Structures are given as C-alpha cells and as structure tokens.
C-alpha cells in the first residue's frame, strides 16, 4: 500500500563500526525489552537496532544474578545477534567501566549509558537523569566506559532536568567531543517524567549541527508521527519504545516506510492473537511457568487491545497461571473474530 504521506529523507546511520540499514531503534524498556521481546521484534525486522533493559552496573558486579549463567540473565543476547546493545545505569565511573567490560564479554554490540531514567529510586541514587545535573560526573562516566571497551558507546538522555535547565545540547556537544557514537534524545525533561507531550522542536534545537547520529525519541506511535518527528528534529533515526509494545512488527513498517515511502500492512487480528501466544510460549520457556505467566500479562493486554472481546480478557489475565489458560483465553477471542466476520 502506498501512503499519501510523503517520505522523510533517509539518512545512513553508522554507530562506530556498525553500519545500519535501517533508521529505527527500539530503546531499553525495563520490564519489557527482555529476550523474548527482542526475539519477536527481530523476527519481523532484521535491521532494527535494539537494547536490553537498563542494567544496574553495581548489580552486574556484585549480584549472583549475573554470575549464574543458567538463570535468565538480563544480558542475554542471542548468538549471532549483531544489532543489540546493553544499557548500563550507575554513577560511579569505576563501576561503570567494570560493568562495560562485563557487557562487552556478554556479547553486546554497543554500550548505552542511561542518563534519562526519571524514576525516583534511580535519580535519588544519582543515576539515570540525575547525571544531567552533574555534567562533570557524566563526562567522567563516558570517559570511563569508553576506556573499558572497544565497542561503540552511546548515551540516552532527556532535554534536561526541567525547563529551567535544558542542557541536553551542552551535554551532547561534550559527549561528542569525548567520542560517543550516537545519542538518543527523549523530548521530555526529567521533571515531566512521562507526562505532557514530547517536544520535538526542542530536540531539533538540542541536536542542530551535531555530527554523531541522533535518534529522536518520544510519543511515536504511527507512521505519521515518524514522518513528523524526523522532519521536525532533523534526526538521523527514530527511537520507538511504547509504540512497539504488543506490536513487534511496527519497526519493520517504519523502516520500510523510511526506505520506500510505502506502508506495509499490519498483521490481521488473528495473526496478532497468534503472536500473543508465541510471546507467551517464549516467555514461559525463558522464565519458567510462574514468572513467565506473571510477566506475559502486561504484553497480552497490548496485543489484544482494541480487538473484539478484549475488555473481558483483562480480568482473566490477572489469574493466568499456565500456557493452556492463555490459549483458552486467546482461542475465545479468535472465536469472537469469526463471529465478527459473519456479521
Ligand atoms: C516501561 C518503560 C520502561 C523504560 N525503561 C527504560 C530503561 O530501562 N532505560 C531507558 O533509557 N529508558 C527507559 N524507558 C524510556 C523509553 O526508552 C523511552 O525513552 C520513553 O518511553 C519515550 O519513548 P516512547 O514515547 O517511544 O515510549 C522506559 C519506558 C517505559 C515506558
């Protein structure tokens, strides 16, 4: 299908030695971008850049969770995977550099530093977006991580701590001088958290003239949003987080649109429901029955959103304890679709 929208100019993105064919990044989402999520997104789109959830640099060094290779490990990256990075958070340069070494050995293709997480327990520990308030420390962290790895080092941040302190541009220029390979910029401040709208015009101001590739981020849900964010910001690529929840095919549609101006069809309702079961199976295989059935609930809500009968599923989801129960629930929704087709 051809869109009536014109297409933004496609820019070639190179992150250190990684030459991307696409322009889309699925950035870290704690509690979402685990291995099953990334496997499904990769099945649709061989060109999308992805990252693990944010990982605590301290935990990587001190917690058994990262030492026991038999447990699901947040650093899990499939063998042969060449476009997935590991995101680290922390504020101690030495610990961040040690964590970068561990992430490098674990198979990351790039190391991303989290300077954007707004959550109180993270910023109160001086991590995430709190680093925007301490530019010197932020620079020391970038230096420390860079000196610990040969991989490209990237930073993900926000416009500033609040509207009185919009320092993303100053930081980006300094990080660029230190040799980071790409920047992801979310068009909100820390104070906004996830409220209000992402300000794409302010992303444009912050990144004008930068030489490193930039992924503009915030509130991209549709192809129209993709066109607008790229045209308004002048960014090289787009980072889409929530817009890929329950939509592992979305990045492929976006990459295809940026390359050709055409819109690929999205899976039909039946295929979406099948995908939810596939995700469920992967999740249980990966995490075991108890954690797997608990963790899949928030994903299934996204897959079934807007489908006939989906509101009834919400209540049942909280009771979900097995793959068979998920199947029963999803088959019921598939039956609703047949009924819908007949009418
Ligand atoms: C559930 C959730 C978890 C997130 N976890 C992280 C994270 O671990 N690291 C990070 O840098 N950003 C994290 N983010 C922020 C997203 O990467 C992204 O910047 C933000 O959601 C705005 O983009 P969007 O409008 O496309 O979702 C998270 C966002 C959500 C909704």
Q: What is the pLDDT of residues 90-119, one digit of tens each?
A: 999 999 999 999 999 999 999 999 999 999
- What integer pLDDT is reported at residue 264 of this predicted model? 97
- Answer whether residue 163 is part of any domain: yes
Residue whose structure tokens are 């959103």: 305
Closest atom of ligand 1 relative to the 156 alpha carbon: 11
Closest atom of ligand 1 relative to the 53 alpha carbon: 8
| Residue 85 near ligand 1, beta carbon < 6 Å | no
Closest atom of ligand 1 relative to the 219 alpha carbon: 25
For ligand 1, atom 3, which residue shows the shortest CA distance?
29
- Answer whether residue 154 is part of any domain: yes
Residues 203, 109 share a domain: yes
CATH of the domain at 295: 1.10.1200.80
Q: How confident is the model at residue 69 (pLDDT cuts 50, 70, 90)?
A: low
Which structural domain range is residue 57 located in?
14-260
Pick from 24, 29, 228 the residue to mutate for probing ligand 1's pocket: most ligand atoms within 8 Å of its CB. Answer: 29
- What integer pLDDT is reported at residue 1 of this predicted model? 59
CATH of the domain at 162: 3.20.20.70
Q: What is the pLDDT of residues 195-212, one digit of tens each?
A: 999 999 999 999 999 999
Q: How confident is the model at residue 341 (pLDDT cuts 50, 70, 90)?
A: low
Q: How confident is the model at residue 312 (pLDDT cuts 50, 70, 90)?
A: confident
Q: State the maximum Cα–Cα separation within the chain, in Å, rounded to a whole number.
A: 65
Question: Which are the contacts of 137, defined by CB distance < 8 A and separation ≥ 6?
Answer: 91, 93, 126, 131
Q: How far is CA 103 from the centre of its chain?
A: 17
| Selected residue with higher pLDDT from 72 and 268 | 268
Residues 93, 172 share a domain: yes
**How many domains, in total, are found in the chain?**
2
d(CA 238, CA 230): 7
Catalytic-residue membership of 280:
no
Alpha-carbon torsion, ordered 44, 50, 53, 57, to 10 deg: 150
- What integer pLDDT is reported at residue 64 of this predicted model? 66
d(CA 174, CA 193): 24
Closest atom of ligand 1 relative to the 32 alpha carbon: 1
Of 206, 238, 260, the residue at which a domain comes to its end is 260
Q: What is the pLDDT of residues 229-243, one digit of tens each?
A: 999 999 999 999 999
Phi first, then psi: give them for residue 57, nearest 5 degrees: -60, -35
Catalytic residue among 15, 48, 117, 171: 117
Share of the chain above pLDDT 70, in %: 95
- What integer pLDDT is reported at residue 146 of this predicted model? 98
How far apart are the CA of 53 and the centre of ligand 1, in A?
Answer: 9
For ligand 1, atom 30, which residue shows the shortest CA distance?
29
pLDDT of residue 67 exceeding 80, the answer is no
Q: What is the pLDDT of residues 313-329, one digit of tens each?
A: 888 898 999 999 999 99
Token reading at 174: 């300094």
- Answer whether residue 43 is part of any domain: yes
Residues 290, 235 share a domain: no
For ligand 1, atom 22, which residue shows the shortest CA distance?
218
Q: How confident is the model at residue 343 (pLDDT cuts 50, 70, 90)?
A: very low
Q: What is the pLDDT of residues 259-301, one digit of tens each?
A: 999 999 999 999 999 999 999 999 999 999 999 999 999 999 9
Residues 154, 289 share a domain: no
* Residue 223, helix vs strand vs coil: helix
Residues 246, 331 share a domain: no
How far apart are the CA of 83 and the centre of ligand 1, in A?
Answer: 18
Token reading at 261: 């101006």
Residues 318, 194 share a domain: no
DSSP letter assigned to residue 9? P
d(CA 297, CA 174): 42
Of 202, 232, 260, the residue at which a domain comes to its end is 260
Pick from 25, 26, 27 the residue to mutate for probing ligand 1's pocket: most ligand atoms within 8 Å of its CB. Answer: 27
| Residue 130 near ligand 1, beta carbon < 6 Å | no
Residues 252, 157 share a domain: yes
- Answer whether residue 6 is part of any domain: no
pLDDT of residue 342 exceeding 60, the answer is no
Residues pairing with 56 in the sheet: 89
| Residue 54 near ligand 1, beta carbon < 6 Å | yes
- Answer whether residue 312 is part of any domain: yes
- Answer whether residue 218 is part of any domain: yes
d(CA 108, CA 128): 20
How many other β-carbons are positioned within 10 Å of the β-carbon of residue 4?
5
Residue 299's region, left for phi above 0, alpha for psi from -120 to 50, else beta, is: alpha
143: enclosing H helix or E strand: helix 135-148
How far apart are the CA of 54 and the centre of ligand 1, in A?
Answer: 9
- Answer whether residue 104 is part of any domain: yes
Q: What is the pLDDT of residues 17-48, one digit of tens each?
A: 999 999 999 999 999 999 999 999 999 999 99
- Answer whether residue 127 is part of any domain: yes
Residues 167, 34 share a domain: yes
Q: What is the pLDDT of residues 137-163, one digit of tens each?
A: 999 999 999 999 999 999 999 999 999
- What integer pLDDT is reported at residue 74 of this predicted model? 87
């Amino acid at each position: 299908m051809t869109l009536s929208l014109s297409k933004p100019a496609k820019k070639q993105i190179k992150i250190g030695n990684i030459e991307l064919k696409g322009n889309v990044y699925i950035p870290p989402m704690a509690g979402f971008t685990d291995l099953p999520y990334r496997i499904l997104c990769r099945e649709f789109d061989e060109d999308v850049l992805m990252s693990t959830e944010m990982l605590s640099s301290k935990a990587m060094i001190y917690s058994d969770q990262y030492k026991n290779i038999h447990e699901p490990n947040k650093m899990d990256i499939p063998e042969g995977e060449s476009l997935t990075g590991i995101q680290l958070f922390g504020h101690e340069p030495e610990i961040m550099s040690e964590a970068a070494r561990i992430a490098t050995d674990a198979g990351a293709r790039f190391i991303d530093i989290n300077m954007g997480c707004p959550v109180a327990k993270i910023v109160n520990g001086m991590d995430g977006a709190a680093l925007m308030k301490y530019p010197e420390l932020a620079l020391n962290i970038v230096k420390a991580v860079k000196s610990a790895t040969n991989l490209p080092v990237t930073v993900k941040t926000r416009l500033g701590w609040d509207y009185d302190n919009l320092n993303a541009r100053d930081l980006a220029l300094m990080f660029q001088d230190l040799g980071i390979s790409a920047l992801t910029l979310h068009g909100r401040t820390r104070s906004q958290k996830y409220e209000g709208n992402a300000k794409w015009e302010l992303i444009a101001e912050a990144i004008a003239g930068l030489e490193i590739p930039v992924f503009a981020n915030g509130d991209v849900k549709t192809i129209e949003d993709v066109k607008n964010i790229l045209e308004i910001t002048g960014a090289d690529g787009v980072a889409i987080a929530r817009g890929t929840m329950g939509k592992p095919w979305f990045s492929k549609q976006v990459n295809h649109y940026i390359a050709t101006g055409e819109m690929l069809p999205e899976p039909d309702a039946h295929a979406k429901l099948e995908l939810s079961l596939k995700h469920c199976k992967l999740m249980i295989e990966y995490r075991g029955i108890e954690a797997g059935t608990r963790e899949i609930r928030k994903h299934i809500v996204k897959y079934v959103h807007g489908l006939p009968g989906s509101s009834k599923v919400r209540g049942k989801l909280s009771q979900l304890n097995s793959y068979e129960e998920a199947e029963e629930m999803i088959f019921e929704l598939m039956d609703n679709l047949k009924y819908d087709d007949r009418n």
